[in-house]
Amino acid sequence: MHRFPFAIGLIAVAVLVAGACHRAAPSGEYLFVWAGDSARAASDFLVVVDANPSSKQYGTVLATLPTGVVGAYPHHTEAEMPSDGHLLANGFGAGRTWLFDLTSPRQPKLLTSFGDVAGLSHPHTYTRLANGNVLATFQYAANELATATSPSSSVTAAATASAAAAAQMSMPMPTLTGATHTTGGLVEMDERGAVIRRGSASDATIQDKLLFPYSVLALPSIDRAVSTTTDMDHADTVATSQWVQFWRLSDLTLIKSIALAPGPRGDEHKFSGEPRLLPDGKSVYIHTFNCGLYLVRGIERAAPSATFVKGFKGIDCGVPILTSHYWLQPVPALHALVALDIADPEHPREVSSVSVGDDEEPHWIAIDATGRRIVLNSAGAGLGNRIFVINFDPADGALSIDARFRDAGAPGAGISMRGKSWPHGWTGTAVPHGSVFSR
């Protein structure tokens, strides 16, 4: 028998398989960070970071993509990378949305941007629906804000690659003035902003009408959506935003609004934030920025209920994650990320916490597809201004900092956003916000 050709064939197959495995990108190989110049003098930009733990460049900034627009206040992106590799990101101060193509992570592209949609302005949260559309919150009615306009500052020469898109997207930066806000609503649209349907958040039963859609959760199995109402305009000192709203998802009809009740401290109900679906598939947790946690039940019924179940220290509690039966909550007052076991949702139990240092105030977190790694940043609130990767053990809820994810030569964990020389040619301090792992 002639064994050698057969052996050579096996070796060739093995080499091909090994090459394919080498080329396949592991889940979460990259981090995408939406950021802006802290001085609001240079272009906002998207950052691509090597997040592959087996890479020699782990923790290194690989690429940046400037939008060509200055001071739009980069804020929320989608909470996880969509399956088509196209990521929506809002520049909240400008009331504008950008759509990035991240299918080739080291060569990010800007597909389009858009402003007001369906007579509504200032989008905040984007949620992908099973039909391929996007359900988005828009805080205000369009053309209802007082604005002070001035030309955008010039961008760096390295932004010329985006010049055509920048010219198309350049716009005055609004100065929001709480007093002129009018209630916004929800919009179902495609990812480029083409409208399918819209619904108004205005509720005649609420006297003050201070309802500004913040975040939304779609519940297609019961034809419902749940939204919250915190105004993102820091000049608004009137709205206390304790309202939660319930919608018919199929036509975006507002069904009911309820107020969260105060917790033991008396103010935990203010500034309703992020709704997350519990493992039972029909109940919801809602956090507040005053660090309360509420259990919402009966969403499919005429009179849903909300019960206070947990309070955290301080205020300004950040964007949470619900994964399996764990609730992961950034708590700025503790400079920490806290994990709760919520197997018994009426009695959540703290099982772990991890501090990222007294110079950080954790705000934004997102989890990778494996459910084992979390990106965390302070969204500009911390003096340290670093981005961290946190390890998470779904077996017991344990949290720990990934000490290997750091700048070269740095004494501690985390990637600093301060005083960096960025790939597009700008040097300065970036303020990060929305950050997600690649798929």
| Residues ≥6 apart with Cβ < 8 Å to 49 | 30, 31, 32, 33, 59, 60, 61, 62, 387, 415
**Which H or E run contains 309?**
strand 305-311
Helices (H) and strands (E) in the chain, counts: 2, 31
Looking at residue 392, its pLDDT comes to 98
pLDDT above 50 for 86:
yes
Which letter does DSSP use for residue 303 in this model? Answer: S
Looking at residue 260, its pLDDT comes to 98
Looking at residue 15, its pLDDT comes to 38
262-290 mean pLDDT: 98
Return the percentage of the chain with pLDDT > 70, whole number: 86
126-147 mean pLDDT: 87
The string of pLDDT tens digits covering residues 309-343 is 999 999 999 999 999 999 999 999 999 999 999 99
The string of pLDDT tens digits covering residues 382-407 is 889 999 999 999 999 999 999 999 99
Rounded to 10 degrees, the C-alpha dihedral 389/335/307/236 comes to -100
Return the percentage of the chain with pLDDT > 90, whole number: 82
Structure tokens at 246: 């319930």
C-alpha distance from residue 47 to each of 44, 66, 69 (Å): 10, 9, 15
Burial 42-61 (b: 16+ CB within 10 A, else e): bbbbbbbbbbbbeeeebbeb
Least confident among 42-56, 162-176, 192-206, 379-393: 162-176
The string of pLDDT tens digits covering residues 338-349 is 999 999 999 999
11-28 mean pLDDT: 47
The string of pLDDT tens digits covering residues 345-373 is 999 999 999 999 999 999 999 999 999 99
Looking at residue 123, its pLDDT comes to 97
The string of pLDDT tens digits covering residues 101-116 is 999 999 999 999 999 9
Looking at residue 158, its pLDDT comes to 34
Looking at residue 382, its pLDDT comes to 81
pLDDT above 80 for 142:
yes
C-alpha distance from residue 305 to each of 17, 274, 302, 326 (Å): 55, 17, 10, 22
CA–CA separation, 269 vs 286, rounded Å?
A: 10
Confidence of residue 273 (pLDDT cuts 50, 70, 90): very high
Report the candidate in 325, 331, 327, 338 with the shortest Cα–Cα distance to residue 360.
331
Least confident among 56-65, 154-163, 185-194, 417-426: 154-163
Evaluate whether 270 touches 286 at the Cβ level (below 8 Å): no
Evaluate whether 123 touches 113 at the Cβ level (below 8 Å): no
**Which H or E run contains 61?**
strand 61-70
Strands 349-355, 364-367: pairing is unpaired
CA–CA separation, 389 vs 33, rounded Å?
A: 13
H-type alpha helices, 88-228: 163-169
Cα angle 434, 435, 437 (rounded to 5 degrees) comes to: 150
pLDDT above 80 for 164:
no
pLDDT above 50 for 40:
yes
The string of pLDDT tens digits covering residues 201-247 is 999 999 888 999 999 999 999 999 999 999 999 888 899 999 999 99
